[in-house]
Amino acid sequence: MSFESLNLHPAILRALTEAGYNTPTPIQAQAIPEVLKGHDLMASAQTGTGKTAAFTLPALNLLATPHPAKSRGPRILVLTPTRELAAQVNDAARKYGKFLRARTVSIVGGMPYPLQNKLLSQPIDILVATPGRLLDHMERGRIDMSRLQMLILDEADRMLDMGFMPDIERISAALPGERQTLMFSATFEGQIANIAKTLLNNPKVIQIAAQKEKHANIEQKLLFVDDMAHKNKLLEHLLIAPEVNQAIVFTSTKRHADLLAEDLYAAGHKSAALHGDMTQGARNRTLTKLRHGDVRVLVATDVAARGIDVHGITHVINYDLPKFAEDYVHRIGRTGRAGNTGVALSFASHIDRHQLRKIEQYTGQRLEISVIEGLEPKRPAPRTDRSDRPRNGRPGQRPGGNGGGYKSRGQGYAGNRDNNGSRPEGRTFGDRAASGRGDSARGNAPRGGDKFGANKRHDGDRPARRPRTFA
Ligand code: AMP
């Protein structure tokens, strides 16, 4: 199938050619015709599948026909859970809408009001926003929604998790009833299905792939750890591997993200933190550095990292397991973008077993246990609840050496321990001298308040539970 056969406007086709896209992805091939026919849509598709273009392209097609009303308000509204995702959608709309001269505006928390007021006073075709700040402007009467023809909810499951649904219901109630609504979500199980019923009108349902078929291009591994010192040694070992081009390391708290980024920096890595307590300007600067390769290791929390689309990211490391199983999928989706392959490594201790089970149930995939030679856990990985995992080797066998220095459990899992079962002493970050390179990616401060923004109120980052990364 080609984009030409989808009946998109020639100006959009031209932008797609310029972007180098030849063939629609499965979600695009299925969603675009339904949206062009005017149907509401309920689509479950992962990030990385091309879902942004799946809704942006048919939405842009609307703009090819001028609106009869003379007002200046947006014709298309896209709601996203995070500022980063809003920025990504905004960039995509600009790229694909370039030859239609589509006027796109992004309104998110953490940005100054006077600037946003100015943006909102100009004619707008596409408005991309996080719900909290948008509602704030709507309540102040700064947005005319009378021309609105299409509402798009991107990552609706995430917006539900983050507590945005009351805001979204209020926004939706203030929009014209005669409109098309598209809802994209990683899942439509549970409460999100009921919300879809209230917001969508007889929607077409598209499910792109069964959970277990997803992320075939991402090698997923599980590393059992004894304690934080063990995690740090493993992390250091992994990050110096030559096959790591760029990595995102996920922590469960903002404070820990800061501390770990600082420690990695002190150990000579081009590292930076990204989390919801940083001002939008600081977050944008960090993301720009990541895109340009000036940051090699990004230490992030879930919300802040959602939607990052940087092709150089070869590795995702779950230093802490995510609180929600869906976040695991979002995290690993930061690698293996646009047809590349990627590696996702998760650290887990014995107390994380319940969380691991939830992740595996959600993805429908077993995480393969790996060990790094010389950095094996003192306590063997649990076998009981993982007994259906296929074993592919005998204890005591020599490691297979599968790139990155890690190997599957069963390939020498027991045989690489020393006689008393302890790990050889590994180096910690603090053992390395700071590189002193001037190209450091640090300097995200100052941190600022975000009185109305989504990520301040609802960003899902847990409060710090550890004062300091390294003893
Ligand atoms: P998304 O799932 O929207 O985050 O998109 C994932 C990546 O795929 C982005 O880098 C897009 O630029 C890219 N992409 C989207 N559609 C296509 C396509 N039809 N052909 C090639 N790349 C695409």
The domain that holds 106 is classified in CATH as 3.40.50.300
Q: Does ligand 1 come within 6 angstroms of the Cβ of 48?
A: yes
Quote the CA–CA distance of 420 and 424 in Å, as a whole number.
10
> Among the atoms of ligand 1, which is closest to the Cα of residue 52?
3
pLDDT at 327: 87
Q: Using the mean position of ligand 1's atoms as its centre, give its distance from the Cα of residue 143 in Å.
A: 31
**Number of other CB atoms surrounding residue 108 within 10 Å:** 27
Take atom 6 of ligand 1 and give the residue whose Cα is closest: 48
Take atom 16 of ligand 1 and give the residue whose Cα is closest: 50
Same domain, 222 and 201: no
**Number of other CB atoms surrounding residue 373 within 10 Å:** 17
pLDDT at 97: 95
Same domain, 93 and 204: yes
pLDDT at 132: 95
Of 179, 208, 237, which residue is a domain's last? 208
| pLDDT beneath 70: ranges in the chain | 209-214, 382-471
Same domain, 229 and 204: no
Q: Does ligand 1 come within 6 angstroms of the Cβ of 338?
A: yes
Pocket test for ligand 1, best of 16, 52, 91 (most atoms within 8 A of CB): 52
Q: Does ligand 1 come within 6 angstroms of the Cβ of 52?
A: yes
Quote the CA–CA distance of 428 and 231 in Å, as a whole number.
10
| C-alpha angle 201-204-209 in degrees, rounded to nearest 5 | 140
pLDDT at 398: 28
Same domain, 330 and 424: yes
In a domain, 449, yes or no: no
pLDDT at 383: 53
Same domain, 233 and 176: no
Same domain, 303 and 343: yes
Structural domain for 253, as ranges: 218-442
Q: What total number of domains does the chain contain?
A: 2
Q: Does ligand 1 come within 6 angstroms of the Cβ of 54?
A: no
Inter-residue contact 106 to 79 (CB < 8 Å): no
> Among the atoms of ligand 1, which is closest to the Cα of residue 88?
4
pLDDT at 214: 62
Q: Burial-class residue 94 by CB neighbours within 10 Å (0-12, 13-18, 19+).
A: middle
pLDDT at 323: 86
pLDDT at 190: 81
> Among the atoms of ligand 1, which is closest to the Cα of residue 49?
2
pTM given for the model: 0.59
Q: Using the mean position of ligand 1's atoms as its centre, give its distance from the Cα of residue 313 in Å.
A: 15
Inter-residue contact 371 to 347 (CB < 8 Å): no
Of 165, 183, 208, which residue is a domain's last? 208
Quote the CA–CA distance of 112 and 101 in Å, as a whole number.
26
Same domain, 233 and 267: yes
Pocket test for ligand 1, best of 309, 332, 335 (most atoms within 8 A of CB): 309
Q: Does ligand 1 come within 6 angstroms of the Cβ of 89?
A: no
Q: Does ligand 1 come within 6 angstroms of the Cβ of 340?
A: no
